[in-house]
Amino acid sequence: MSAKPVLWITRRLSDATLERAARDYDVIINHEDGIFTADEIVAMSAKVDAILPCHSELFNADVAARLDARVKIIANHSVGVDHCELPALKERGIVVTNTPDVLSDATAEIAMLLLLGAARRAVEGDRLVRTGAWDFWSPSFMVGKQVSGARLGIIGMGRVGQVMARRAKGFDMDVHYYNRQRLSPELEQGATYHDSIEDLMKVSDFLSMHCPATPQTIGLMDKNMLSRMPDSAVLVNTARGALIDETALLDAIASGKLSAAGLDCFQTEPGGNPAFAAYENIFMLPHIGSATAQTRDAMGFRALDNLDAFFAGDKPGDQL
């Protein structure tokens, strides 16, 4: 009987994922759940046949060049792979996979939570009640921005964007979107396509980001782009923090150009941007878009499915 492949799981994944992995692989698990440096990743690569990392582990060109030849596959526990230098890994002959589809519902739920919370002043309202400072009411008290009937712009109409559009339809929102390619009428579900982001910005009372971080999209929401939005618009980001120029966002919030923002991701993670804390109209969460028990199990199992296929001699379904 041949030895099982050695699999390094870099973070503390769900119990069901770890149990399945231990059944089928010789596993090395990071039970302490700390983050590894580039040198530590390289050192560990000499001991394993496969790595199951999260977005917290960086496989840039330098790391890719130094990985031990023993490593044959990196099966990511994430959809986004901007932490992986794909051309450099491909040059080394290392297969890279991700986990699409399974986290779309959970991430869209967080996007709607952020949209609603930002629009209806959830941070401020929670503080007033929680601190005992709520001692007043009038018709002008805590007036927010209505979601029902408003225009929602979506940048990136992939799996998560499409789920977000369906959720927004439940609030009778008028959905508009930009995507690299226009969707079929069946997938559009009545949403209005815009062939440029600049055109989409003009009609977006609310804007939700659902595109990957690439050289073309990093810093996409800059001063120029935000200035194109309607006054008092709301920006929501559950994709990648690198999509937003955070200085430009702060300026837009301070000036009132944006009435609010809802953010689940930041340029610096963990930690976020301390300057945002001064603004109660910035509703923030610590990058938990896919953090449900059901989705964490599904992500882990999808990564293991890709590993199983690879070691069976087949092409993984989610190979990039």
pLDDT in tens, 159-185: 999 999 999 999 999 999 999 999 999
Say whether pLDDT at 1 is over 50.
Answer: no
Q: Which residues pair with 9 in a beta bridge?
A: 29, 52
pTM of this prediction? 0.91
Q: How big is the CA angle at 41 (ends 36 and 45), to the nearest 5 degrees? A: 150
Q: Which two tokens stand for residue 16?
A: 């069901």
Question: Active site residue: 11, 77, 151, 287, which one?
Answer: 287
- Tens of pLDDT along 36-80? 999 999 999 999 999 999 999 999 999 999 999 999 999 999 998
Average pLDDT over residues 115-142: 97
Average pLDDT score over residue span 126-131: 98
Out of 19, 91, 198, 269, the active site residue is: 269
Alpha-carbon distance of 27 to 23, in angstroms, equals 9
Distance CA 167, CA 147 (A): 12
Residue 75: what pLDDT?
98
Cα-Cα-Cα-Cα dihedral of 144, 148, 154, 160, to 10°?
Answer: 110
What pLDDT, on a 0 to 100 scale, did the predictor assign at position 2? 59
Please give the average per-residue pLDDT across 287-302, as a whole number. Answer: 97
240 given a catalytic annotation: yes
Exposed e or buried b per residue across 210-236, where buried means at least 16 C-beta atoms within 10 angstroms of its C-beta: bbbbeeebeebbeeebbeebbeebbbb
Q: Give, in order, the Cα–Cα distances in Å from 107 to each of 52, 79, 263, 295, 303.
A: 21, 11, 12, 10, 18
Q: How far apart are the first and last CA of the chain?
A: 31
**Strand extents, DSSP E, 76-221:** 95-97, 151-155, 174-178, 192-194, 206-209
Q: Please state, for a pLDDT cut of 90, what percent of the chain lies above it.
A: 98
What is the spatial distance between Cα 121 and Cα 104, in angstroms, rounded to a whole number? 26
What does the pLDDT read at residue 263?
Answer: 98
Q: How many CA atoms lie within 13 Å of 218's alpha carbon, on the beta-carbon side? A: 5
Considering 77, 121, 167, 240, which one is annotated as catalytic? 240
Please give the domain boundaries of the chain with CATH numbers for all domains.
Answer: 6-100+293-311 (3.40.50.720), 104-284 (3.40.50.720)
Of 296, 308, 319, residue with least CA distance to 102: 296
